[in-house]
Amino acid sequence: MDGKWICEFGAGMDAPPVEADAALLGAKGDSLVQMSGLGLPIPPGFIIAAGASLAYCDTGKHSPGLEEQVGKAWERLESNLRGLGRPSLVSVRCGSGDLIPGLMDSVLNLGINDENVENLARMSDSQDFAFDAYRRFVEMYGDAVLGVDRRHFEEILESYKARHDLELDTDLRARDWSALVKEYQKMIHKRTGMDFPRTREEQLWGAISAAMRSCGNARARGYCRAQGVDCSTAVIIQAMVFGNVGEDSATGFFSSRDVVSGERRLRGQFLRDSQGGDIAENARSPLPLCADGDVSLGRSLEETMPQAFAGLQNAAEKLERHYRDMVEVAFTIERGEIWLLESLRGDRSTRAAVKIAVDMVEEGLSTRSEAVLKIDPSSLQQLLHPMLDADAEYEVLAHGLAASPGAVSGAIVFSADDAEAFERQGYKVIFVRRETSPEDIRGMQSSAGIVTTRGGITSHAAVIARGMGRPCVCGARALRIDEKGEALYVGSRKLERGATITIDGSSGEVILGKVARIQPEFSGELKRLMNWADGYRRMGVRANADTLTDARLALEFGAEGIGLCRTEHMFLDEERILAVWQMILTRSAQARQEVLEKLLPMQREDLTGLFELMAGLPVTVRLLDPPLHEFLPRRDEEQKRMADASGVNLDNVRRRIAELRESNPMLGHRGCRLGITYPEIYEMQARAIFEAAAQASKKTGSPVEMEIMIPLVALKRELEVLKERINGVAEEVRAETGLSLQYKVGAMIELPRAALRASEIAGLADFFSFGTNDLTQTVFGISRDDALGFLGAYSREGILEQDPFVSIDQKGVGELIRLAVERGREERSDIILGICGEHGGDPASIEFCESLGLEYVSCSPYRAPIARLAAAQAKLRAADN
Amino acid sequence: MDGKWICEFGAGMDAPPVEADAALLGAKGDSLVQMSGLGLPIPPGFIIAAGASLAYCDTGKHSPGLEEQVGKAWERLESNLRGLGRPSLVSVRCGSGDLIPGLMDSVLNLGINDENVENLARMSDSQDFAFDAYRRFVEMYGDAVLGVDRRHFEEILESYKARHDLELDTDLRARDWSALVKEYQKMIHKRTGMDFPRTREEQLWGAISAAMRSCGNARARGYCRAQGVDCSTAVIIQAMVFGNVGEDSATGFFSSRDVVSGERRLRGQFLRDSQGGDIAENARSPLPLCADGDVSLGRSLEETMPQAFAGLQNAAEKLERHYRDMVEVAFTIERGEIWLLESLRGDRSTRAAVKIAVDMVEEGLSTRSEAVLKIDPSSLQQLLHPMLDADAEYEVLAHGLAASPGAVSGAIVFSADDAEAFERQGYKVIFVRRETSPEDIRGMQSSAGIVTTRGGITSHAAVIARGMGRPCVCGARALRIDEKGEALYVGSRKLERGATITIDGSSGEVILGKVARIQPEFSGELKRLMNWADGYRRMGVRANADTLTDARLALEFGAEGIGLCRTEHMFLDEERILAVWQMILTRSAQARQEVLEKLLPMQREDLTGLFELMAGLPVTVRLLDPPLHEFLPRRDEEQKRMADASGVNLDNVRRRIAELRESNPMLGHRGCRLGITYPEIYEMQARAIFEAAAQASKKTGSPVEMEIMIPLVALKRELEVLKERINGVAEEVRAETGLSLQYKVGAMIELPRAALRASEIAGLADFFSFGTNDLTQTVFGISRDDALGFLGAYSREGILEQDPFVSIDQKGVGELIRLAVERGREERSDIILGICGEHGGDPASIEFCESLGLEYVSCSPYRAPIARLAAAQAKLRAADN
């Protein structure tokens, strides 16, 4: 639209350019052009393209030619309206709609002044209407264009009503409105030093300039910078139609389907004798559009204005066919005649979105791939977890991070022991802690929900809770646990152990007392959609699952294998932790070997179950990863228990704990470094895996697809040494069982060095699994547990557009992954590449994985459906490009 | 030498190939060939090239053609010896000398048997000699070739002497030796089941095969793998000469110059009537080679055998001219005639090495660049720190890591307060702690040396100690500080506070009591050498210096600027730390601002001094880097002091400390993340820098070359935001002072993401400084403080060839640096690139920096001479390639 800023629409106007650019017209403007093209009844008008506001904000002057073009469009509009016998009043609105915050509010009835208000009265046959319209205009213009706060107008109105003993606005008549217009204009003069503009031209340019200028405010600019879009707005000038000229007139809106259930039925509200905005503000209750089968009430539009209703239904069908989607429409009825003012692809619940997408395929309105692309994968999590009842009222105690979705109520406890004890007594508990560590896992397992007062979206608590599918709110800083861990404080309010709270892990709210919930369902439509998605998907979807429960859930949610089975979680059981403590306390390899022999059958048993369940599907088992001190007790009584259980004196226990303490455990003695320095640990684990596989395959008759994963590899030689030892154990088990064990050994790529040296590592690895959590931590040098102190400020200041722990940082972390993929494949073309970090369940990250051609993504079982859908979308989009 | 394995040498033999490969001949073999080429008197012989041993170890068989080639060489050698009237006895030795451990010991006198021993007696005119030679041969052969332990021979000898009432070996005569030979051979038969070989051929091939086989032992192989060399050895067969045929015969060795002082004078020892090895074993004391001006003793070779001495001196001169270096020579004098057996470039003290290198240039024996290349840069540190007197005797309490060189004695203290108090009373103190943190810096500054019982070579204590030039031993795990921190235990021995110990930071020893020391000197020769080096050097050398003392030292040691001035160290002074505590306790930006105004003049004052001193040279000032909690006190009494000083109640102090605590501080809220979240801190620092620069330049008349460095950058936008704020402060100071401040702003590249995004960061940065410590930590995912638990095992197992915190890991970390250099330069060709991590003082890392074309390296002041020399060598070598 170089040099041409105007796009006209509606009957009697110039047709818009065939390919008018939606971005330049704004969503509202574009909808007007589209509807006009469909022959729907639209008040005529024109749009000033967004580019003009950009130029105006930069230079403070309107673009050359703009005034002339606006002038010509206006002339055409005015003569058009004159021909129709309509008043030449217009609305001026920003075209970017609600997206950008701080843009100018709409100005209606523009064009009225002292001279022509009487004409309007004549045309509308109502003095009251005409002067009310004038009053409304002065108020809106004063507020939106001249910057005089609404409150000043309200004060004048209230004082006028008090003086004249009038109660409701509807009690006011033409003379009252006329008097108020004068008082308003006087007040505006006093506050701004300016006379209220009289001419249509002054008024119009005042409003256009204000609309454009509103892009320059700090809020709007901050928002646009964060979104990475130009800060600009189209301006829409459109003929007024009036819903407030009697009982045969109305304003209203509708959606073409039910936004909650997705049912195919017009849903909406209308208000007789009203003008735009009145529905939200007015004291009168709006009425429903449809009778909903019960026509006895006789109040719906369907019954009372069946012709207008039919017109709207007809328009809805045309728009659905055009957009291949549900639409939301704003309309006005003026003396029985319908006018459409705007159409949007409206918001809807996820349940509705799924139903609508699937129904539209059935109705022949759209294709399966369109349906698959229509659903935001992340929104699915709403369907997979219980939600708070939207109608419930409640008191929010604190806001934290929405760390793991779902809502749950329960009694608060502050220790793992209490969690277990309460649970045994049949209570649902919410486990509240400053932050969690692996020794809290038993407590988390016994809890219905988890709250931490520190820690970020990828802290230990959050990661484990998501893995377990427990609702979790993290970093609820307004909460404080007292020193003794016996009560919770919010400000000065105290909640004792056992008090009931509700948490909503989808919103981050911590709520006082119990709140009603809505249970999720994996509906027939969702299953249908997921099946279609699976048909388009190229990448596999596996789940991160450590237990049989996890694995069953994974299968239920459509995972095609286990991409990460963390063996350490098997150690945390009450009975086993004692053996683990002994293993850690022991300083001799020999004694350690003896303790490990106690752990071997336990680990083998767990794995046997897992292998049997997953028969025929791949299972990636990661060897011990966390530093040993994470297993050790922190509290005195537990340390004492550890000493007693191990027959070691308490001082020695404490000394060993102090010895193992690390400054930066994340970068410490963990992962394959443990495997190298304590060979007997990994050897026990390898034996457990092989023996379990032997048992499981005997039972199921199909071989186990074992993938043994070495964590935290930085050096080729680490993998070499460990692989040799694992192969040695396999040889032994082969000799003992007589079975031919097939297995893969691979490396977790979660350190920059491993990515850089991918070529030589690939020479030894059957597979790579990208551990993007740790990779993000090391590439950024940010500990996810400590990031809360500054990541908030970073996102507020627009320094980080996106939390890199939620979505892969494609420019930094992503470059290393790409490099590792290239180098790995070059060395070994059949290497299996996957991702098992938290990002495996994030749609943007999944799209990135598709672009790299990874074989699979692995995520928490609860996110498997999200991953399936996102992977399908990624493939469809990739095929499109 | 494909298929040709033999290289002959010495008079009467075939001349060796012109370019015999030293690697295949071994160092010893090569020296024989070289000496033979110089016409020096060498017993004739031949060498079997190392490749033959490689083949033998692999296949267990000798290479085709080898036996024939050896046979022919032997024939030539035998007829040669026959012509000279010498016995055809030989020695068989491994040619790789002492380098590879576990190789076969030399076998002398090979060729004797019952039949020809009488011939030897005739030729040597001595039955005693002949049978003694036979006995020696059987013993050496039995031990080295047949694997019978020496102890068994000694037992037989002792029992024989006891039975015959003989005291000394010299009391034994031919019949005794003859009887012993028989007893020896019987014992060998009993132990090995083999008859002792009689023929020359059996003996020879037995010894050759044993020599080759000795490369196959585990120790040798382990060593070679670690060194990355082939495990092979040349075998030398050489005619015997005898130093044990009377008082006009002798064996001995000398170096062509004094290995301690470097003085040009033959230094060595000899022993009359002895055979090789006797000097080390014999009860008789060896005599000096030179009279050293005092001929009255009449015992030196110079006086007693002046002709032989002159021959050796002549040989020394020839060899020095040939090798252009000092040599060490082993010799034998047989009836007045000298024979050279081996020449090596001998070890020498660093002081000697420098003097010799410089002297040889003066003497016209070598060039300046050769002299510069001859000195191992790391060895210079011996000259720059006090050393323990090599003659002193002492008791070592514990071995730790040699963390910062130099030796010092002092009274032990366990707290910073005690360190200061003792120092004020005039004591030298050794500060002993489990590990150190920034609050210990005052204590470290008051101490003469530092010991930690934990922490690695790059732990806080080690880094700071090296920066301060304080001797430091880290990770002395045998030491234990008691709970109350009042005594030190070594096993059950207790050392109270105030007890004297000595530490040697060059060896890692912690020693009981006081030990005599030798003071360093920056000798005239060293200065000369450094000047030559500076002439060849391309890269600049800067120093990491935070204080005036450091900066003065830096200038003294030839640094050309400051590459890293850590501003936080200025905060740790007694008086300032209170203000720092207040700053941290405060939660409002306003109150923080007020406290910062107290710190401003202090920081400004320090910087003014630094800028004045460094007038005209660049000074890189790094803004606050460590997380705030590092400044906070850990001990109760200090926390109380903090509460009192800040007027805050102790509970609140503790709460704030707990709040700020981090799981992984290394990856936490530090570096520019502090600058972003607490804008007033960096703004105060920027103001201090600018105001200091204004004052300093007014005083010195030359502008200050300020470089403001932003630490821990991961995102372009961080640099953008902070640069804008710094520029804002500069504008203010410009306006206030009327001066035109010139300054640079740059980024510390110490995170993988910064390296990857170097291009966009370079768009905003005047310079990059690679912080290779943190970059190594993040690329490897290894915390240097926690690495002690496994890096030891890694280096023992050959998983890590080199500690990446000591020398840059060129394959991993190095690739990221190279990438950042390329991307940075591409975006901005005039960007200044330097390195300021610990690696800046490591020669191998400096060579890597030269290969990347960096502008400078920056290291601790004490390492500046090392860096200057290493940089010169790197440039010379680069020019060579």
Tokens of B276: 């090789």
- Can you tell me the distance from the alpha carbon of A812 to that of A823, in angstroms, rounded to the nearest whole number? 17
**Given this model, what pLDDT does residue A810 score?**
97
Helix or strand run (H / E) with residue A527:
helix A524-536
**Crossing angle for the helix pair A574-585 and A589-613, to the nearest 10 degrees:** 150
**What does the pLDDT read at residue B636?**
83
Chain A: closest CA distance from residue B588 (Å): 15
Residues of chain B with pLDDT under 50: 1-2
Token pair belonging to B375: 């000195």
- Structure-token pair, residue A873: 């979308």
Across the interface, of A664, A785, A812, the residue whose CB is closest to B757 is A812
How close does chain A come to B808, measured CA to CA in Å? 13
ipTM exceeding cut-off 0.85 for this assembly: no
pLDDT digits (tens, 9 = 90+) for A698-714: 999 888 999 999 999 99
Please list every residue in chain A whose beta carbon sits closer than 8 Å to the beta carbon of residue B463: none
Query: Which residues of chain A make contact with B663, given a CB cutoff of 8 A?
Result: 435, 665-666, 783, 785-786
Contact B799 A673 (CB under 8 A): no
For residues A831 and A745, what is the distance between their CA atoms, to the nearest angstrom?
A: 11
Checking DSSP bridges between strand A767-770 and strand B407-413, what pairing results, if any?
Answer: unpaired
Could you read off the pLDDT of A143-176 as tens digits, one per residue? 999 999 999 999 999 999 999 999 888 889 999 9
Distance CA A657, CA B658 (A): 20
Contacts of B474 in chain A (CB under 8 A): none
Q: Is A460 a catalytic residue?
A: yes
- pLDDT of amino acid A314: 96
Q: Give which of B435, B454, B587, B715 to mutate to test A binding, by max A Cβ within 10 Å.
A: B715
Query: What pTM does this model have?
Result: 0.81
Inter-chain residue contact A799 with B753, CB threshold 8 Å: no
Which chain B residues are Cβ-neighbours of A435 within 8 angstroms? 663
Alpha carbon of B192: minimum distance to chain A alpha carbons (Å): 35
Q: Are strands A472-474 and A449-452 parallel, antiparallel or unpaired?
A: parallel
CB B450 within 8 A of CB B472: yes
Q: How confident is the model at residue A667 (pLDDT cuts 50, 70, 90)?
A: very high
Chain A: nearest CA to B797, how far in angstroms? 9
What residue in B sits closest to A671 (Cα-Cα)?
Answer: B781
The pLDDT score that the predictor gives to residue B281 is 62
The two structure tokens encoding residue B71: 């046979």
Q: For A628, which residue in chain B has the nearest alpha carbon?
A: B789
- The count of CB pairs under 8 A between chains A and B is 164
For A786, which residue in chain B has the nearest alpha carbon?
B668
Residues B688/B691/B694/B697 CA torsion (nearest 10 deg): -30
Other CB atoms within 10 Å distance of the CB of residue B391: 7
Q: Residue by residue, what is the 3-state secondary structure of A331-384? A: EEEECCEEEEEEEECCCCCHHHHHHHHHHHHHCCCCCHHHHHHHCCHHHHHHHH
Chain B nearest CA to A670, separation (Å): 9
Rg of chain B over CA atoms, in angstroms? 33
Could you tell me which residues are beta bridge partners of residue A856?
A: A540, A834
pLDDT at B384: 82
What is the C-alpha to C-alpha distance for residues A571 and A587, in angstroms, rounded to an integer?
Answer: 19
Q: A283: pLDDT confidence band, cut at 50, 70 and 90?
A: low
Of B453, B468, B451, the residue nearest B385 (C-alpha): B468
How many other CB atoms are found less than 10 A from the CB of residue B658? 11
CB-CB neighbors (< 8 A) of B714 in chain A: 780-782, 812
Which position has the token pair 């001196």?
B313
The percent of residues in chain A predicted with pLDDT above 70, rounded, is 96
Tell if the CB–CB gap between A781 and B753 is shorter than 8 Å: yes
Cβ contacts (< 8 Å) between A751 and chain B: which residues? 779-781
Q: pLDDT category, A18, cuts 50, 70, 90?
A: low
Which residues in chain B have their CB less than 8 angstroms from residue A820's CB? none
Walk across the sheet containing B479-481 and list its strands: B479-481, B487-490, B493-496
Going by their DSSP bridges, the two strands A90-94 and A235-239 should be labelled as antiparallel
> A656-660, A846-850, B174-178, B709-713: lowest mean pLDDT where?
A656-660
Q: List the single residue in B with minimal CA-CA distance to A665.
A: B664
DSSP per position, A725-757: HHHHHHHHHHHHH-----EEEEEEE-SHHHHHT
Query: Nearest-CA neighbor of A625 among A520, A774, A777, A504?
Result: A774
- Across-strand partners of B858? B542
Query: So what's the pLDDT on residue B1?
Result: 41
For A41, A82, A123, the CA distances from A85, given in Å and listed in that order, are 17, 5, 8
Question: What is the per-residue pLDDT across A207-221, written as a single tens digit (0 to 9) for each?
Answer: 999 999 888 777 777
| Residue from A836, A839, A849, A859 carrying the catalytic annotation | A836
Angle in degrees, 0-180, between the axes of helices A843-852 and A864-880, rounded to the nearest 10: 50
Tokens 């007020």, located at residue:
B594
Where is average pLDDT lowest: A270-279, A562-571, B38-47?
A: A270-279
User: How is residue B103 annotated by DSSP?
Assistant: P
Q: Helices (H) and strands (E) in chain A — how many of each?
A: 34, 31
C-alpha B48: how far from chain center: 33
- CB nearest A669 (choices: B664, B721, B790): B790
**The pLDDT of residue A2:** 47
| Residue of A687, A739, A741 whose CA lies nearest to A567 | A687
Res. A1 pLDDT band, cuts 50 70 90: very low
C-alpha–C-alpha distance, residues A48 and B89, integer Å: 110
How far is the alpha carbon of A781 from chain B, nearest alpha carbon, in Å?
A: 5
> What band does A541 get if pLDDT is binned at 50, 70 and 90?
very high
Q: What is the pLDDT of residues B784-828, one digit of tens each?
A: 888 877 887 888 788 988 889 989 999 999 999 999 999 999 999
Q: Which residues contact A59 (CB under 8 A, 6 or more apart)?
A: none
Q: Which helix (H) or strand (E) holds A403?
A: strand A401-404
Catalytic site includes residue B322: no
In chain B, the residue whose alpha carbon lies closest to the alpha carbon of A788 is B669
Which chain B residue has its CA at the smallest distance from A482's CA? B655
- pLDDT mean over A649-668: 88
